[in-house]
Amino acid sequence: MAVWSSILRATRQKLLQNSGSGTALIKNGQARCMSEQRTFVIRPSNFQWHKTKDYFHLYFLLGAIPVGIVITLINVFIGPATLEEIPEGYVPKEWEYLQHPIKRFLQRYFFPSQQQEYEKFLHHIYHENQLRKVRLLEQQVNVAMSTARDYRSSYFREFYGAKYFHHYKQSLDKYMGEEN
């Protein structure tokens, strides 16, 4: 193996020396010597930063352009609401009081009404009041039980062991009878 590498090296050197293309390039100054003080600076990659910017721009434009077009079309073709007479016997809905069509749409389909919010708040107050009453009743029961001291507490459970004692006695008699 060593013989082949030395033969190939010698042949390659002779071929390059005899061909005038290598020397002609060096004479004309077209060969790069790599001695121009250019150094390869090792620094962290910016790939993730550029990829993040690309994704941000993509998804921002995917969202911003259609939303901008929709808002522009709504403002141009529908426009703000105007005041008009309310017919007799008609009760307007709460979203009909808003001027902008997007606000009307959101109030009608996405947000709860003020009446619903008020009723939820009243239910919360009612529930908390019921809890307060139960806690007060428990406190009164505990005070009454502690003053009289004639009642077992609510956590006490009576244990009737007669049934289990009877079964134990029968099994013991059976075991003792088998032994004799």
User: Per the domain annotation, does 69 fall within a domain?
Assistant: no
Instruction: Using a cut of 0.75, tell me whether the model's pTM lies above it.
Output: no
The answer to whether 96 and 104 have CB atoms below 8 angstroms apart is yes
For residue 62, what are its two tokens?
A: 């995917």
How many structural domains are present in the chain? Answer: 1
Let me know if 74 is exposed, middle or buried by CB neighbors in 10 A (0-12, 13-18, 19+): middle
User: Per the domain annotation, does 119 fall within a domain?
Assistant: yes
In eight-state DSSP terms, residue 78 is: I
Encode the chain (180 residues) as per-residue pLDDT tens digits. Answer: 555 666 666 666 666 665 555 555 555 555 555 666 767 888 889 999 999 999 999 999 999 999 999 999 999 999 998 989 999 999 999 999 999 999 999 999 999 999 999 999 999 999 999 999 999 999 998 888 888 777 777 666 777 778 788 888 889 888 887 765
Residue range(s) defining the domain that contains residue 125 = 113-150
Residues 6 or more apart whose CB falls under 8 angstroms from that of 92 comprise: 86
User: Per the domain annotation, does 131 fall within a domain?
Assistant: yes
- The predicted pLDDT at position 60 comes to 93
- The predicted pLDDT at position 175 comes to 85
The answer to whether 31 and 25 have CB atoms below 8 angstroms apart is yes
User: Per the domain annotation, does 132 fall within a domain?
Assistant: yes
User: Per the domain annotation, does 142 fall within a domain?
Assistant: yes
Amino acid at 140: Q
User: Per the domain annotation, does 66 fall within a domain?
Assistant: no
